[in-house]
Amino acid sequence: MKLEMKDQPGQLVAALKPISAVGGNIIAVIHQRETSTAAEALDVQIVLELPEGRLETLLELLREQGVSVVRIGEERLLYKCTLIMIGHLMHTDLSDTVDRIDRTGSAEVTELSLAMPAINAPSSARITIRSTTRTEMKKAIRILRGVAEQKKLLIIEPLEDA
Amino acid sequence: MMRIALLGFGSVGQGIARAILAKDLNITVTGLADSRSGITDPAGIDLAAALDRKGNGGPCGTPGVSPADVVAKAEYDVLVEVTPTNVETAEPALGHIRGALGRHKHVVTSNKGPIALAYPELRALAEANGVLLKYEATVCGAIPLIHAMQEGLAGNTISRLYGVFNGTCNYILTRMAEDSLTYEQALAEARELGYAEADPTYDVEGIDAAIKLVILANTLLDMQTTLDDVERTGITLLTPDALRLAEDLDCTIRLIGEIVPEAGVLRVSPRIVPKAHPLVVEGTLNAVTVEADLAGELTFIGKGAGSTETASAVIGDLLYIHDRYVQGS
């Protein structure tokens, strides 16, 4: 999620406190100097993770602190992980493989690139999963590993976590 | 002068002999055995002649003299055990190492079997006999990884250790990525160049890399593991398409061995790695990254196999022992 506010004296500190109070996790604070505005009026963006259902409480607390939020950008799926699958992907029902991830509700397959070689030869696919949290990503990858074992697919994971 | 008995006179054993001949290392070989023959001489064996005999397809010593005879009877300070690895029983190397330690002789080995299967026992036996057991050459050939972790990084806690532990697989994957070769084509090329055995299972199924992880885990990271504890996937099913799909993201695929001590993770599997990552080395090179709490992240890159390169690790161990234990005579 992304909060945007005007950078007036004291606003940033006032904004950070309520975030931790509602159990949020600050990922980045970005100052952006807009060409149209005066040097002292900076835009501040705060990128954060927030537990489900806490947004209203946070906005209320921010209002109490006198922080004016200009815009809220909500991106649910913050974490991204790209893997490669090799095997008989079509014969083992690729849409079912994708569906098992999507069914979690907290992770979904957002990209799929499929290379199809000769008939009956194993195919290769690149699959991108996005999830709400790191834990949900681990869960999604565990599901994919299980599916791979069942369908005799090879899963190539990235060296580093999401 | 330090006296050594050399068991195994293949690629590594001959590399050691050539280094001793070429350099003033203060090492003399008083016992020598291959699988067919043996020779002992307290005054020092003529290594050039032994290399000649071997080069002409003959035995290195006298037929009928066994490695066990050399271990039990030769006069030496250090047994150098460089015979091929047996992953199931570690024999006959294990018995020879026990025999030498029991005679209060130091042991230096490049043989993964005994270290992976019986390190705690062998270490205790070495301690009880007041001698050292060194095994730098068992992991990543010329890279002094074990020395670095035992000495240079002493006092660090290792949170993760991962890298390219098998040069054969790395060569195959490098070639598949470079020229869109199929796995079979790249393997055939590796065989032609002598990088892969006639039966490549041990390398391409990740067994070799897995044994190295077991050695590192058991001897340096306070873990007690066996080969069965390593989650292992080889590279035989990889396709040129998969490498191309990785390439689209400026990544490639490498066979990565990984240990995460706290989580108890030991795993060998093909992984997607950014091409700019220091572990993406070309050809038969090995590369290992160690994450240590005090030192931070370190990456070691070097030749993981080869006659001279493996001899380098063995000689490093020998001179370590020489400097600390063996009095000049």
Q: Residues B100-150: pLDDT tens digits?
A: 999 999 999 999 999 999 999 999 999 999 999 999 999 999 999 999 999
B149 falls within a domain: no
Q: In what order do the strands lie in the sheet with A42-49?
A: A25-32, A42-49, A2-7, A69-73
Q: How many residues are given for chain B?
A: 329
Which residues of B are catalytic, by number?
212
Is there a single domain that holds both residue B97 and residue B22? Answer: yes
Residue type, B57: G
* Run of H or E residues at A99: helix A94-102
Residues forming a β-bridge with A129: A81, A109
pLDDT at site A162: 62
Please write the tens of the pLDDT for every residue from B77-106. 999 999 999 989 999 999 999 999 999 999
Residue A105, classed as helix, strand or coil, is coil
Is there a single domain that holds both residue B111 and residue B232? Answer: no
**How is residue B117 written in tokens?**
């299967």
Is there a single domain that holds both residue B15 and residue B117? Answer: yes
Q: Is B288 on the interface with A (CB under 8 A)?
A: no
Read off the CATH number of the domain in which B50 is found.
Answer: 3.40.50.720
- CB within 8 Å: B245 and A154: no
Is there a single domain that holds both residue B7 and residue B119? Answer: yes
Closest listed residue to residue A121, CA positions, set A71, A150, A87: A87
User: B83 with B108: CB under 8 angstroms?
Assistant: no
Percent of chain B with pLDDT over 70: 99
Is there a single domain that holds both residue B130 and residue B267? Answer: no
Between chain A and chain B, the number of residue pairs with CB atoms below 8 A apart is 61
For B174, other C-beta atoms within 10 Å of its C-beta total: 21
Is there a single domain that holds both residue B314 and residue B232? Answer: no
DSSP result, B176-229: HHHH---HHHHHHHHHHTTSS-SS-HHHHTSHHHHHHHHHHHHHHS-----GGG
The domains found in chain A, sorted by start residue, are: 2-73 (3.30.70.260), 79-156 (3.30.70.260)
pLDDT at site A69: 79
pLDDT at site A36: 52
Closest listed residue to residue B225, CA positions, set B268, B254, B174: B268
B44 falls within a domain: yes
Is there a single domain that holds both residue B296 and residue B158? Answer: yes
| Structural domains of chain B, count | 2
- CB within 8 Å: A159 and B279: yes
pLDDT band with cut points at 50, 70 and 90 for residue B287: very high
Is there a single domain that holds both residue B93 and residue B233? Answer: no
Cβ contacts of B257 on chain A, cutoff 8 Å: none
pLDDT at site B201: 95
- Identify the residue with better confidence: B37 or A51: B37
Please write the tens of the pLDDT for every residue from B217-269. 999 999 999 999 999 999 999 999 999 999 999 999 999 999 999 999 999 99
Read off the CATH number of the domain in which B295 is found.
Answer: 3.30.360.10
Which residues are CB-neighbours of B113 under 8 A, at least 6 positions away? B85, B86, B87, B89, B90, B91, B93, B94
Is there a single domain that holds both residue B100 and residue B160? Answer: no
Res B329 pLDDT > 50: no
Res B62 pLDDT > 60: yes
Please write the tens of the pLDDT for every residue from A16-52. 888 888 888 887 787 765 555 544 455 677 888 887 7
CA distance A85 to B75: 58
B147 falls within a domain: no
Helices B167-179 and B240-247, axial angle in degrees (round to 10): 70
Residue A110 gets the label, from left (phi > 0), alpha (psi -120 to 50) or beta, of: alpha
Residues forming a β-bridge with B289: B162, B299
Is there a single domain that holds both residue B297 and residue B312? Answer: no
- Please give the residue range of the domain that contains residue B113: 2-141+308-324
Q: Report the gap between the CA of B137 and the closest CA in chain A (Å).
A: 26
Q: Report the gap between the CA of A26 and the closest CA in chain B (Å).
A: 25
CA distance B4 to A7: 75
B264 falls within a domain: yes
Looking at residues B279-286, what average pLDDT do you find? 96
- CB within 8 Å: A84 and B245: yes
pLDDT at site A52: 75
- Helix/strand/coil (H, E, C) string of B5-74? EEECCCHHHHHHHHHHHHCCCCEEEEEEECCCEEEECCCCCCHHHHHHHHHCCCCCCEECCCHHHHHHHC
User: B219 with B118: CB under 8 angstroms?
Assistant: no
pLDDT at site A23: 87
- CB within 8 Å: A157 and B237: no
Q: β-pairing, A69-73 with B265-274?
A: unpaired
User: B207 with B199: CB under 8 angstroms?
Assistant: no
Is there a single domain that holds both residue B169 and residue B100? Answer: no
B119 falls within a domain: yes
Res B1 pLDDT > 50: yes
CA distance B30 to B131: 19
pLDDT at site A72: 79
User: B281 with B301: CB under 8 angstroms?
Assistant: yes
Q: Which residue has the tokens 């000049």?
A: B328
pLDDT at site A33: 57
Stretches where chain A sits below pLDDT 70 are: 1-2, 6-8, 32-43, 162
Is there a single domain that holds both residue B167 and residue B286? Answer: yes
Q: Is B276 on the interface with A (CB under 8 A)?
A: no
Q: Is B277 on the interface with A (CB under 8 A)?
A: yes
Which residues are CB-neighbours of B63 under 8 A, at least 6 positions away? B36, B37
B148 falls within a domain: no
The whole-angstrom distance between residue A148's C-alpha and the CA centroid of its chain comes to: 24
User: A97 with A149: CB under 8 angstroms?
Assistant: no
Looking at residues B62-69, what average pLDDT do you find? 94
The backbone torsions φ and ψ at residue B203, rounded to the nearest 5 degrees and listed phi first, read -85, -55
pLDDT at site A15: 78
Give strand ranges (E) for chain A. 2-7, 25-32, 42-49, 69-73, 79-87, 107-115, 123-131, 154-158
pLDDT at site A78: 77
B26 falls within a domain: yes
B329 falls within a domain: no
Residue type, B180: S
Cβ contacts of A115 on chain B, cutoff 8 Å: 239, 241-242, 244-245
CA distance B254 to B275: 10
**How is residue B84 written in tokens?**
């091929």
